[in-house]
């Protein structure tokens, strides 16, 4: 199981402020079709692009920053763990959690995941691409989230998404 710890609020706020003020990051992620977030090593969202924020608004989700992906996307298991998202028993097989953990180990990852939602809602069927990136001396996990249904109905292939995410990560690190 991944650690449950989170960064103190003053550290979290400093990370968010630094990333939101990073013009190169803003330029690099603004027009990407994928929903992009940066996660700190504690798996908390510290940056989200416009596409992700629009998706969050459509989901009716709460606060983006400081949340973990499952918490923010209203996964039914997010509040069942030791200290929330990623720590419950079902999280062991969650593609999102496993992709992020692989990237925390320095690897590029791609996983499919099904996020079960509350009530009678259909689960979110997603593909998540993750890659570690270094920004201003700190390591973050760049996560690109794609609706699995859109991949199968559009001409974009998984490989195209994966290459796009890798190119984006390289641009972010070069800045």
Identify the residue with better confidence: 154 or 116: 116
**Among 51-55, 84-88, 133-137, whose mean pLDDT is lowest?**
84-88
In this predicted structure, what is the pLDDT of residue 152? Answer: 55
Q: What is the pTM of this model?
A: 0.85
Q: How many CA atoms lie within 13 A of 110 on its CB side?
A: 13
45-48, strands of its sheet edge to edge: 45-48, 35-39, 138-147, 124-135, 109-115
Q: Which residues contact 172 (CB under 8 A, 6 or more apart)?
A: 24, 25, 28, 29, 133, 135, 142
The mean pLDDT of the chain is 83
Confidence of residue 56 (pLDDT cuts 50, 70, 90): confident
In this predicted structure, what is the pLDDT of residue 14? Answer: 96
Could you say which architecture CATH assigns to the domain 9-174? Answer: 2-Layer Sandwich (3.30)
Structure token digits, residue 37? 């977030």
First-to-last C-alpha distance (Å) of the chain:
34
Strand 35-39 and strand 109-115: the pairing is: unpaired
Surface-to-core class of residue 31, CB atoms within 10 Å of its CB (0-12 exposed, 13-18 middle, 19+ buried): exposed
Q: Which residues contact 109 (CB under 8 A, 6 or more apart)?
A: 98, 99, 100, 102, 103, 128, 129, 130, 131
| DSSP percent split of the chain into helix, strand, coil, nearest 5 | 40, 25, 35
Structure token digits, residue 156? 């974009």
In this predicted structure, what is the pLDDT of residue 124? Answer: 85
Structure token digits, residue 2? 């991944």
Confidence of residue 153 (pLDDT cuts 50, 70, 90): very low
Average of pLDDT values for 83-93?
77
Confidence of residue 151 (pLDDT cuts 50, 70, 90): low
Average of pLDDT values for 19-30?
87
Structure token digits, residue 122? 């259909």
Structure token digits, residue 128? 């998540």
* Per-domain residue ranges of the chain: 9-174
Q: How many CA atoms lie within 13 A of 78 on its CB side?
A: 17
Confidence of residue 171 (pLDDT cuts 50, 70, 90): confident
Confidence of residue 39 (pLDDT cuts 50, 70, 90): very high
């Amino acid at each position: 199981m991944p650690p449950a710890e989170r960064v103190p609020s003053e550290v979290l706020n400093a990370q968010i402020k630094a990333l939101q003020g990073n013009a190169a990051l803003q330029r690099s992620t603004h027009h990407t079709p994928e929903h992009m977030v940066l996660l700190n090593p504690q798996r908390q969202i510290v940056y989200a692009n416009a596409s992700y924020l629009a998706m969050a608004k459509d989901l009716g989700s709460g606060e983006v920053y400081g949340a973990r992906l499952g918490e923010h996307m209203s996964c039914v298991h997010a509040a069942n763990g030791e200290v929330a998202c990623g720590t419950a028993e079902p999280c062991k097989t969650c593609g999102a959690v496993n992709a992020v953990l692989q990237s925390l180990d320095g690897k590029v990852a791609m996983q499919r995941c099904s996020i079960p939602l509350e009530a009678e809602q259909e689960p979110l069927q997603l593909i998540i691409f993750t890659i570690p990136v270094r920004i201003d001396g700190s390591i973050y996990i760049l996560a690109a989230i794609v609706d699995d249904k859109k991949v199968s109905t559009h001409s974009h292939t998984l490989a195209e998404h994966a290459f796009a995410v890798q190119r984006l990560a390289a641009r972010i690190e070069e800045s």
